C-alpha cells in the first residue's frame, strides 16, 4: 500500500514539473531596449480593477471579428501602480492591433470604435512564451520583478507598463515606454 502511495506522489510531482516546464516556468527572463510599433489600434478605456481587463479585451476582439476585422495581437496598457492607487481608480486601456490589410475596413467603422495611431516608442522589453493561461501568471511573477530591477538600475519611470499578447507568435511581450522616437 505504501509503495502505491509513493508511486502516486512521485507521479504527481513529475506531472507537475512537466506541466510547469511546458508552461515556461523555468524560462530565463531577459531584458532589452528596443523600438516597438508604430501601428493602428482599436481600444477601450477602463477604470477599475485590473482583473477585469480580460473580459473587456474579449469583447473588443469579438466585435472586431463580427465586423470581419482580424487581430492576433492584443495589448493592455496599465497606467497606474496598483500598490499606490486605490483599485477603483486604476486606469488601463485595452488595445487590439489592426492589421494593415484591415485599415480600410476600420475607416468605414469609425463611429463604432475608438481607434488611433500609435507612434514608434523606445521600450524596455521582455518576451515570454505563451502556452496556456498559466503562462500569463508565471510571466507576471517572473518578468515584473526583473523589469522593476532594470528600471531602478537605469533610473527609468516604472509606469505605464504594457502586456502585448501575440497569438500568432505564441508570446507575451512585457514592455515599459522609455521615449517616443
Cell (9 digits) for 43: 481600444
- Is residue 83's pLDDT more than 80? yes
Q: What is the pLDDT of residue 88?
A: 93
Would 8 be classed as within a structural domain?
no
- Provide the CATH number for the domain around residue 113: 3.20.80.10
**CA 6 to chain CA mean position, Å:** 40
CA angle (151, 154, 156) in 5-degree steps: 55
- Whether 23 is covered by a domain: the verdict is no
Which single residue is written with the C-alpha cell 514592455?
Answer: 175
pLDDT tens for each residue of 125-172: 999 988 877 888 888 888 989 988 998 888 887 778 889 989 889 999
Whether 106 maps to a domain, the answer reads: yes
Tally of domains in the chain: 1
Residue 80: C-alpha distances to residues 21, 23, 117, 157 (Å): 32, 28, 22, 12
pLDDT at 25: 56
Alpha carbon separation from 81 to 49, 90, 139, 148, 158 (Å, rounded): 11, 8, 18, 12, 9
Look at residue 132 and tell me if it is in a domain.
yes
In a domain, 11, yes or no: no
Domain region containing 58: 28-180
Task: Assess if residue 2 is contained within a domain.
Answer: no
Does residue 50 belong to any structural domain of this protein?
Answer: yes
User: Is it the case that residue 1 has pLDDT exceeding 70?
Assistant: no
Q: How far apart are CA 53 and CA 41, in angstroms?
A: 16
Gap between the Cα atoms of 131 and 2, Å rounded: 36
Is pLDDT at 11 greater than 70 in this prediction? no
**What is the pTM (predicted TM-score) of this model?**
0.76
Q: Taking all residues of the chain, what is their mean pLDDT, rounded to a whole number?
A: 82
Residues 86, 100: Cα–Cα separation, whole Å: 38
Is position 13 within any domain? no
Specify the 3-state DSSP secondary structure of 68: coil
What pLDDT sits at residue 37? 76
**pLDDT (0 to 100) of residue 91:** 94
pLDDT tens track for 114-127: 888 888 888 899 99
pLDDT, residue 7, reads 63
pLDDT tier, 89 (very low <50, low <70, confident <90, very high otherwise):
very high
Q: Output the pLDDT for position 87.
A: 92
pLDDT-derived band at 10 (thresholds 50, 70, 90) equals low
Amino acid at each position: 500500500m505504501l509503495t502505491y502511495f509513493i508511486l502516486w506522489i512521485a507521479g504527481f510531482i513529475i506531472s507537475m514539473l512537466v506541466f510547469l516546464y511546458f508552461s515556461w516556468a523555468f524560462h530565463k527572463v531577459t531584458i532589452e531596449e528596443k523600438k516597438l510599433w508604430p501601428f493602428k489600434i482599436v481600444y477601450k478605456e477602463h477604470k477599475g480593477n485590473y482583473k477585469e481587463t480580460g473580459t473587456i479585451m474579449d469583447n473588443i476582439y469579438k466585435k472586431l471579428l463580427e465586423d470581419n476585422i482580424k487581430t492576433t495581437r492584443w495589448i493592455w496598457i496599465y497606467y497606474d501602480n496598483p500598490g499606490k492607487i486605490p483599485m477603483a481608480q486604476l486606469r488601463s486601456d485595452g488595445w487590439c492591433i489592426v492589421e494593415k490589410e484591415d485599415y480600410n475596413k476600420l475607416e468605414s467603422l469609425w463611429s463604432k470604435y475608438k481607434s488611433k495611431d500609435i507612434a514608434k516608442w523606445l521600450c524596455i522589453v521582455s518576451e515570454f512564451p505563451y502556452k496556456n493561461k498559466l503562462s500569463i501568471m508565471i510571466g507576471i511573477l517572473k518578468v515584473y520583478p526583473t523589469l522593476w530591477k532594470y528600471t531602478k538600475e537605469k533610473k527609468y519611470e516604472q509606469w505605464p507598463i504594457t502586456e502585448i499578447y501575440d497569438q500568432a507568435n505564441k508570446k507575451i511581450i512585457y514592455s515599459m515606454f522609455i521615449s517616443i522616437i
